Structure 1
């Protein structure tokens, strides 16, 4: 190891980057770049302000070499069609081809008593830094995840005109993208992400994401720099949302760095909920110290709860260091007061999660990364996490072949109430769990990846400090489907995490027996493909399943965004071979098959027809998946995580919305199946069940069960008041006989509803059921319907759309709402729908609230189309 563990924490003192400092800003515009092959001069010369950049091109920072090349139109969009095949792969070109200089001119001066710091929040993989003709990095830093910080006060120009030059080198070992999971596996020799060499859901990223991929920050402080604050909240006992609360305990510590040659005495303090806690300290010259502030018992705190259980309340916390009445440095945090624990459920033999003393049934997602080329924005993070909130999920797992997610991701999860399980960087595929002929090295060698264990530990400790204050962070995980090497895992688990965090459960790998006893053998996760709906209810899988997935192709509008016209050909299923004939571009984008599951809806006519029928299957798959697990909560299961809910490129599998943030029916099927108080049909035995995932007893819920035929005629199947205890599920009655009789000829519709005492619908679940032959024969002969559509602008970018189906009509089935440009009729993205793919009963009205971006001065229009509803466009009225 290059770095001994004993020296780890000493080294980390110089690697801290602030969350939100008193006076800081990003260097995110005005960069220029050039490949090293075109630059013969040294960094000392390039970084001199007078050096000419005439032949250089604009560069994207934060970004990668590919994002800069794409910006300058030197490569085609790698996410479209087969364009990725036109881009040279680094394994073939050699590393110099993707080794780049990045240069930025900026204005900054240090006044008397000021210190100026240059922070890099992520560079892949190694780099050198030059400023104003001086080399700042004495050794070449390595590691994709390790933050770096440099005091540049003395290197700044007196006139304030500065030139920063950074040369970035790719990983030493880039691996061959040979079609395996992580290619030949050797990408894992680095402390970096692994998917860039290709996976079963993505093609290889040709530069392996070489570049200054995360933020570059200039920070100005006084003599003392406040960094790496640590906030711990303790909430003893069993709490309920909305109640007057017993006190919560808050513990705060922080590091203080004195960059001057004299000792500094001052006061470090924090303020939260109107309470201030302080401590006077002396920081030695050129020294760093950690300060523990006095504990605070906060009376009647507002607690942070996961989505579906209560408000995800966040307190602003201001921390500062003051010397002689002058603020030297200050940071602001958003603090969620909560306590998270994990205990083994003896009945299921799996972990169950408690928040503020209450057990939470985990309805989780697996997340790769927001964008495969690392083009992160606050707005995209917000949209994606909001989609997950809208699916009624309560946890997101960050997969180990990718990243430690960015603070902006965690800020969105804090806001929307999503718990997070954060993997460290390893996978069973690359790191040796299985024999794999695609891999360059054997399992014995791969089990010791990465090459530099000390760098891994150093990076892990730094990333823990970066995200540990977020309320949403609930669990740490050693790796994806495999433990880390023992001399990494044991120090991480037994020393680093207890010292730097100490409040969260560490699971050694994602499908470990510690998380979920895998009594069925195998890997403890899956299946990953499309399933018969009854299987989700009748087939028992692992009690805390970390990965289970299905299909996820978008509609034709989504597909046309990245499929060339000549490849807009749907897969065709052959019942004789039981295989689909798939276009090569679909296959390149990792299409996962619908197999025979579209056939009951009739022969596929074209891609539009394929996309339309795929949405019916999408909705049913994910609704039934979540309902199947919910049907057995606390009996078979304590939780599950869907593999996966999003794609960071234009893939054709496992996604609730596409790369362009356009939701498909998966999202709304999952939203339905995951709602906190939910009435549903057990697809294995046709039993009506009710689940209550709240902490409150649900009294006086009117259950209304109604069958509809294809002409819209209704038959009552029962109506009665029911009650449900908190965090429980139970069967109510069987509809097996009624469904068999009424669906026999051409199928049927089934409406299951719960209404409160004010007759307000609190759960609305609408099924379409096949005929006696397993076909949806009645759907093909449904009479057309034209619902009445009314719109009302509620606020800028927010509209209420009311749909009304007249009495005597058939059901207006499976209607997709969109917000589109009034001229081009192209969908605006992202748009957030209160509900979508809605069906209207005869004589029924439904109102859907929609929020959309207002980037144009011209008001968009609402688009509506359904199974038996022709497309129409409706103006948005005041």
Structure 2
């Protein structure tokens, strides 16, 4: 009987949520803004904010945006991401703060409120200080300070009776702005503010000249009835040890929200929500001019669909609409929340002496990425966030750490992490470099003075509390971190740890600082964070570093097409290797140095392939190094999971500027080979080769034993002749790395003179390939002589459209060819021959043995009016060629 009644009950419940007489509305003020430097304005905010005040000679402004983004759109400055253009833009330290202090105005139509109607203005982020005016009235009695503190104003009484309104905001830069003297965070004084620190320069970016002054985040207008519903809080509890599939025991859903009554009368009503067809509601009476937090009764969610990290299960999200109904009838306000039912736990691993992360009772081996920011000039879009986080999902990673020198990431970032199953460690705004961990001659203040930064501790704590409320509902948010490589000052640390986070969240682990002993105790083996440069492949397998390493990585120079996007043709000059005994060891173009190229180690890894002939040869050989580095990094850590390590986080995977270091795709979202090497090495079920003891291994990150697998090991010489090196039926236990058999002698014989190729495959019971790994190995002297003389391997390519925005490409290598080695498949505009970006490949830089084929897919977003794309294929021994895509037949 209950099953028969449930659909009717759901319709009745949904009807309650849809039927109220008033529909709350919310929209962004994101176009039609104007601006003027303060030096050109003599009038005050009361005058400027009158609709009658003329702004005819003011420039168009970008909001959300910064002064630089506005100047760039108005062609007042060159693109600071190209060449040395950043040096042509005046730096605020030299010009003084007034140069980048701007007025911003926005005219908008909003009719005067009707009875009981309330209108609210929300500013989600202003950097750094501001005064806010509307229609001749000042809204903030005291100057607002702080990049990470939202502002909300009830503007009901200030709206024009004729519906014509003007908002005027004067925005002041941080104070001090920091001297960009080449140090990390410049002279460090930028950290005296509650703002991001990288804007004064870092080792992966040049200074941002305006320090990102502006209305950098969304401006929102919201209309409600008497009650404003805000800061909802959803907590999900998932007791026990769960698995992704099958029936589930109940989960507990706890929901609360703040209700604000700005009127002079008490208001009664109902706070309610529906989740999975179940309604929870509570009657509430709010006193006049009061804000109260209301805790609803718990919901026991039967047989919940759980949210899991990437590679471990699905990322199910339940839509929840939280509403307040005046007198139980009239909708006053509502908030939408996407609820991921999951629980984060931590457990100390006594064997590794590090923390391990559990989700829904299951331990998760962390394969993470350090994230700086999407765009150094704060040009954020949901589409770019989605593309970048999808790349990280496609790399088979499961965690993002948001570095403390940037910001608390935006809701749109977390929405993408929720979608792609990426857990998040969120740092607060502290870094060791600026905040005094080390003596540093480039810093203005001494170490002890810098330890007290920022100047306004109260502002820091208010900002922290506000940002916690903003992002605490996202299931991807897993951990909070006090700062990058250093704790905040003791009073801030105590407040975060003992009051703010327990009271406003209470469900997530708090790490005092990113490499704290409570996360990873470095007592056995060598090392700490890092290394950060190119390493011998064996280093990642044999050298024991921190048991939960928060920063380890390599380089990641892109290929020639990547470099051409931001380097002038005259500067497309390959580094010249001068020899190990020379100082420096490389001669590098100054433009490369400006874009933070670091060649430490590149020369030792490129030269075995042969000295680069030109820039294209250098970048294609760099891709071999990139692929090998990042595959080995994750394979080496995975081979020791739960023995040496509970996780690792790569420093770093992306750049918000046209930097050449620490990236797996460039600023323009073009992947280099490192992305696909990491994707391969991070497979959840993966076969791999240990170069230290020449063992064939497999790793299983999942929760289920993998049985009836056939391990097939094949060697190829440079002519393409294959040699079987072993076959074995294997099984791999859950969350385990397992060794099977050595192949050292056979490999030595096969590759002694010219090197060899090594193919490892895991086949399922039906002989389908479930893991494919292809290595290229040097000769006995460590040289890739065979690759240097590898014969051409003409491949047959077929490309066809599977659906709108999805293409399938098959590469076939005829039986008499050598291996068709290291092929990049690109989607291009056939009119310009330039790559379309972003494109999401199921694999790339692929190698095809003779007599075999390999098929991959490419996904992209078609643009209206653009020509049908084409495919290019180019490999180490495969000439560049363009192929048409066979269209989908309706």
Query: Which TM-score tier does this pair reach, normalised by the shorter chain?
Result: over 0.9
Tell me if structure 1 keeps the 8 A contact 2:527–2:546: no
| 1:22 to partner: Cα distance | 4.1
Report Cα offsets for 1:111-134 as digits up to 9, x if no partner.
222110000000000000111111
Tell me if structure 2 keeps the 8 A contact 1:689–1:732: yes
CA distance in 2, matches of 1:576, 1:211: 47
Question: Who is 1:580 aligned against?
Answer: 586
Tell me if structure 2 keeps the 8 A contact 1:482–1:509: yes
| 1:513 to partner: Cα distance | 0.3
- Provide the secondary structure at the position in 2 that maps to 1:869: coil
Q: Equivalent of 1:863, from 853, 867, 872? A: 872
- Provide the secondary structure at the position in 1 that maps to 2:191: helix
Question: Who is 2:483 aligned against?
Answer: 479
Question: Who is 2:207 aligned against?
Answer: 204
> What runs of 5+ residues in structure 1 fail to find an aligned partner?
1-20
Q: Equivalent of 1:52, from 45, 51, 54? A: 54
Q: Does 1:466 align with 2:470?
A: yes
Question: Who is 1:12 aligned against?
Answer: none
Question: Who is 1:421 aligned against?
Answer: 425
Q: Equivalent of 2:225, from 222, 236, 252? A: 222
CA distance in 1, matches of 2:528, 2:46: 54
| 1:736 to partner: Cα distance | 1.2
Tell me if structure 2 keeps the 8 A contact 1:481–1:523: no
CA distance in 2, matches of 1:413, 1:482: 26
| 1:523 to partner: Cα distance | 8.2
Report Cα offsets for 1:212-265 as digits up to 9, x if no partner.
000000011111011000000000000001121000000000000111111111
Report Cα offsets for 1:565-623 as digits up to 9, x if no partner.
11000111122535111100000010011131100111111111111000000000000
Tell me if structure 1 keeps the 8 A contact 2:103–2:168: yes
Matches within 5 A, 1:753-792: 753-792=761-800
Question: Who is 2:363 aligned against?
Answer: 359
Question: Who is 1:213 aligned against?
Answer: 216
Q: Does 1:185 align with 2:188?
A: yes
Matches within 5 A, 1:726-737: 726-737=734-745
Report Cα offsets for 1:496-547 as digits up to 9, x if no partner.
1000000000010000000000126998311111100001001100000000
Question: Who is 1:24 aligned against?
Answer: 26
CA distance in 2, matches of 1:873, 1:445: 60
Matches within 5 A, 1:256-267: 256-267=259-270
Tell me if structure 2 keeps the 8 A contact 1:691–1:730: yes
| Change in 2 beyond 3 A, CA 1:520/1:444 | farther
Q: Equivalent of 2:171, from 157, 168, 181? A: 168
CA distance in 2, matches of 1:83, 1:368: 22
| 1:857 to partner: Cα distance | 3.7
| 1:343 to partner: Cα distance | 1.1
Question: Who is 2:882 aligned against?
Answer: 873
CA distance in 2, matches of 1:698, 1:66: 54
Q: Equivalent of 2:136, from 133, 136, 143? A: 133
| 1:54 to partner: Cα distance | 1.7
Q: Equivalent of 1:292, from 284, 290, 295? A: 295
CA distance in 1, matches of 2:399, 2:761: 27
Q: Does 1:244 align with 2:250?
A: no
Structure 1, 339-348 or 318-327: larger mean CA deviation: 318-327
Q: Equivalent of 2:806, from 798, 806, 831? A: 798
Report Cα offsets for 1:692-741 as digits up to 9, x if no partner.
00001000110000000111110000011100110011111111111111
Structure 1, 394-403 or 22-31: larger mean CA deviation: 22-31
Tell me if structure 2 keeps the 8 A contact 1:575–1:596: no
Question: Who is 2:838 aligned against?
Answer: 830
Q: Does 1:310 align with 2:313?
A: yes
Question: Who is 1:3 aligned against?
Answer: none
Report Cα offsets for 1:457-508 as digits up to 9, x if no partner.
0000000000000000000000000011000000110011000000000010
Matches within 5 A, 1:689-708: 689-708=697-716
CA distance in 1, matches of 2:147, 2:557: 32
CA distance in 2, matches of 1:135, 1:167: 11
Structure 1, 487-496 or 514-523: larger mean CA deviation: 514-523
Tell me if structure 1 keeps the 8 A contact 2:527–2:544: no
Tell me if structure 1 keeps the 8 A contact 2:710–2:762: yes
Q: TM-score, normalised by structure 1?
A: 0.97
Matches within 5 A, 1:46-445: 46-109=48-111, 110-324=113-327, 325-445=329-449
Tell me if structure 2 keeps the 8 A contact 1:573–1:596: no
Question: Who is 1:18 aligned against?
Answer: none
Tell me if structure 1 keeps the 8 A contact 2:757–2:774: yes
Question: Who is 1:611 aligned against?
Answer: 619
Tell me if structure 2 keeps the 8 A contact 1:706–1:718: yes
Give the superposed CA RMSD: 1.0
- Provide the secondary structure at the position in 1 that maps to 2:93: helix
Q: Equivalent of 1:519, from 516, 523, 526? A: 523
CA distance in 1, matches of 2:815, 2:197: 57
Tell me if structure 1 keeps the 8 A contact 2:698–2:737: yes
| Change in 2 beyond 3 A, CA 1:225/1:433 | same
CA distance in 2, matches of 1:696, 1:682: 24
Tell me if structure 1 keeps the 8 A contact 2:526–2:544: no
Question: Who is 1:16 aligned against?
Answer: none
CA distance in 2, matches of 1:425, 1:412: 22
Number of residue pairs matched by the alignment:
858
Question: Who is 1:546 aligned against?
Answer: 550
> What runs of 5+ residues in structure 2 fail to find an aligned partner?
1-22
Tell me if structure 2 keeps the 8 A contact 1:828–1:853: no
- Provide the secondary structure at the position in 1 that maps to 2:671: coil
Q: Does 1:656 align with 2:664?
A: yes
CA distance in 2, matches of 1:180, 1:416: 36
Tell me if structure 1 keeps the 8 A contact 2:185–2:198: yes
- Provide the secondary structure at the position in 2 that maps to 1:608: helix
Tell me if structure 1 keeps the 8 A contact 2:306–2:315: yes
